[in-house]
């Protein structure tokens, strides 16, 4: 489960009812953090515990005390005054049996030519405003040291609800998430600043999670692998695995639909047919022999074809052209095909009148916009800072599964389910990778196959995981080449 700041406070509130006092939870958190940190460092390391004025700082005081008691060389810094002396963090401060240094002392320490271990306990999940210049300068000095940093709960400067940087943020090597991950850990750029995230059990009962109504999950195979993922079985044949169709591209852009089709045939379907026209059919025949092709030159021919054929799923958009013809073809296809992926040019074609698009969508349809396409189709939501919130609102408005692509791709369904992909790599920021993704997704969905939401989650994961097998210089074709490796990993671990 992934919670926001309000939800984690609600869970903690229920936990406090079961305890004699709230301080015992802070004590438990500090002890668990110190145990983890001590397992990663040496007794020869110098440790700087940098504390803020709230509960995150209180955790830091306990961590520092525990490490001192274990024999580590520790300096504790309080860089902002504690205003409320009745709170648990002040109680933790009073239990210290060592000298506590101030912000000025910290800057002197950071100027030394040493590489101390830094434990960041300045601000936690409660941060919701931009940091002041003193704290920003302190964070810059910490990052400049390029030393190992442990952030407690969330890196200072990251908004735990949306992953945004509140002026400046500490770049952690390790983030010790207390009880569960927060949204800021998995949303970009928060995920970048968090480093390796370790969830620590601090004594909050998991049963208390029932007090929050949350459907947000982190994308991983255990969520969808047992939901009709299309494994090849001993008795499978090409048509038992479904027939996917890809509506072809304009003659100058056939590369887009070739990427989609090639990805689809690699994944979860028995045959892929490209719907081409007289200007492009020969080009498709020359490029990829594993694909079937059919020539259709008019909307009447398309209608006849749709009536006569069994279509498991269909993708339209990559290279199709931004024009009225694409709009009319998309509308027509939606009347005959339940399981559709609508991407790229097919989305942009509706941008002047998105209501036309919404009328043909339902829970079996998937749209896969990047940020620019999203803003054109959903202009009312483009200024919402929380990516999960705007994706979910858009999914409900369009009444379909929505995949908002990016470094933290979000998959949302109209019933409120949300999945956040954290497997991604920056190497995916290159032309054609979106076409590959839509091809993977269309191969997984359909009658007797995965639902639109599960198929979208699986497709996004496969796409990202396959990309990780390529290092620098990735191009879209590399993802397709690496899909068998991603499928082999799934087969060994889950099948």
pLDDT digits (tens, 9 = 90+) for 335-384: 999 999 999 999 999 999 999 999 999 999 999 999 999 999 999 999 99
* DSSP SS3 for 45: coil
What DSSP element (H or E) covers 467?
Answer: helix 452-467
Of 302, 244, 247, 238, give the one whose Cα is nearest residue 270: 238
What does the pLDDT read at residue 287? 79
- What number is the average pLDDT over the span 271-286? 94
Per CATH, the homologous superfamily of domain 2-214 is YjeF N-terminal domain (3.40.50.10260)
What DSSP element (H or E) covers 298?
Answer: none
What does the pLDDT read at residue 104? 97
Ordered by start, the domain boundaries in the chain are 2-214, 221-494
Of 435, 401, 434, give the one whose Cα is nearest residue 419: 401
Dist. CA 442–CA 421, nearest whole Å: 18
* pLDDT of 391 above 90: yes
Asked whether 413 and 395 are in contact (CB, 8 A), the reply is yes
pLDDT band, residue 214 (cuts 50/70/90): confident
Of 431, 434, 436, 433, give the one whose Cα is nearest residue 262: 436
Asked whether 176 and 187 are in contact (CB, 8 A), the reply is no
Asked whether 257 and 249 are in contact (CB, 8 A), the reply is yes
pLDDT digits (tens, 9 = 90+) for 226-251: 999 999 887 888 878 999 999 999 99
Q: What is the DSSP letter of 272?
A: E
Q: What is the DSSP letter of 253?
A: G
- What number is the average pLDDT over the span 461-488? 96
What does residue 6 show for φ and ψ, rounded to 5 degrees?
Answer: -70, -40
pLDDT digits (tens, 9 = 90+) for 104-152: 999 999 999 999 999 999 999 999 999 999 999 999 999 999 999 999 9
Dist. CA 487–CA 393, nearest whole Å: 32
To 5 degrees, how large is the angle CA 142–CA 148–CA 154?
75
221-494 carries CATH number 3.30.420.10:
no
């Amino acid at each position: 489960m992934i919670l926001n700041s309000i939800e984690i406070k609600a869970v903690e509130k229920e936990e406090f009812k079961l305890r004699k006092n709230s301080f015992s939870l802070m004590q438990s958190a500090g002890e668990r953090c110190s145990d983890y940190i001590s397992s990663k460092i040496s007794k020869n390391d110098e440790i700087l515990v940098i504390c803020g004025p709230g509960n995150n700082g209180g955790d830091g005081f306990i961590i520092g005390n525990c490490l001192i008691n274990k024999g580590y060389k520790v300096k504790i810094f309080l860089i902002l005054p504690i205003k409320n002396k009745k709170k648990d963090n002040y109680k933790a401060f009073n239990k210290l049996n060592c000298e506590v240094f101030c912000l000025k002392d910290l800057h002197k320490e950071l100027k030394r030519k040493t590489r101390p271990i830094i434990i960041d306990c300045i601000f936690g999940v409660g941060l919701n405003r931009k940091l002041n210049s003193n704290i920003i300068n302190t964070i810059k000095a910490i990052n400049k040291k390029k030393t190992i940093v442990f952030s407690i709960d969330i890196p200072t400067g990251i908004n735990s609800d949306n992953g945004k940087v509140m002026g400046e943020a500490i770049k952690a090597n390790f983030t010790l998430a207390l009880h569960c991950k927060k949204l800021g850990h998995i949303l970009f750029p928060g995920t970048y600043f968090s480093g390796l995230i370790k969830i620590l059990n601090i004594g909050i009962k998991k049963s208390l999670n029932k007090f929050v109504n949350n459907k947000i999950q982190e994308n991983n195979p255990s969520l969808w692998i047992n939901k009709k993922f299309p494994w090849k079985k001993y008795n499978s044949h090409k048509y038992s695995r479904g027939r996917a169709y890809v509506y072809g591209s304009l003659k100058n852009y056939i590369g887009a639909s070739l990427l989609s089709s090639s990805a689809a045939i690699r994944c979860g379907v028995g045959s892929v047919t490209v719907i081409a026209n007289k200007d492009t059919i020969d080009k498709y025949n020359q490029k990829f022999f594993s694909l079937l092709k059919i020539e259709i030159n008019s909307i009447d021919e398309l209608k006849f074809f749709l009536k006569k054929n069994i279509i498991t799923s269909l993708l339209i958009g990559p290279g199709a052209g931004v024009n009225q013809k694409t709009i009319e073809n998309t509308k027509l296809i939606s009347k005959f095909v339940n399981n559709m992926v609508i991407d790229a040019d097919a989305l942009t074609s509706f941008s002047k009148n998105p209501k036309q698009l919404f009328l043909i969508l339902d829970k079996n349809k998937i749209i896969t916009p990047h940020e620019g396409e999203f803003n054109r189709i959903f202009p009312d939501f483009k200024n919402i800072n929380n990516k999960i919130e705007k994706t979910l609102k858009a999914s409900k408005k369009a009444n379909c599964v929505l995949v908002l692509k990016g470094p933290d791709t979000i998959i949302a369904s109209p019933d409120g389910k949300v999945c956040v992909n954290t497997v991604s790599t920056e190497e995916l920021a290159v032309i054609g990778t979106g076409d590959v993704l839509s091809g993977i997704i269309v191969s997984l969905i359909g009658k007797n196959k995965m639902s639109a939401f599960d198929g979208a989650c699986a497709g996004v994961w496969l796409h990202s995981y396959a990309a990780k097998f390529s290092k620098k210089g990735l191009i879209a074709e590399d993802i397709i080449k690496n899909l068998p490796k991603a499928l082999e990993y799934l087969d060994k671990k889950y099948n």
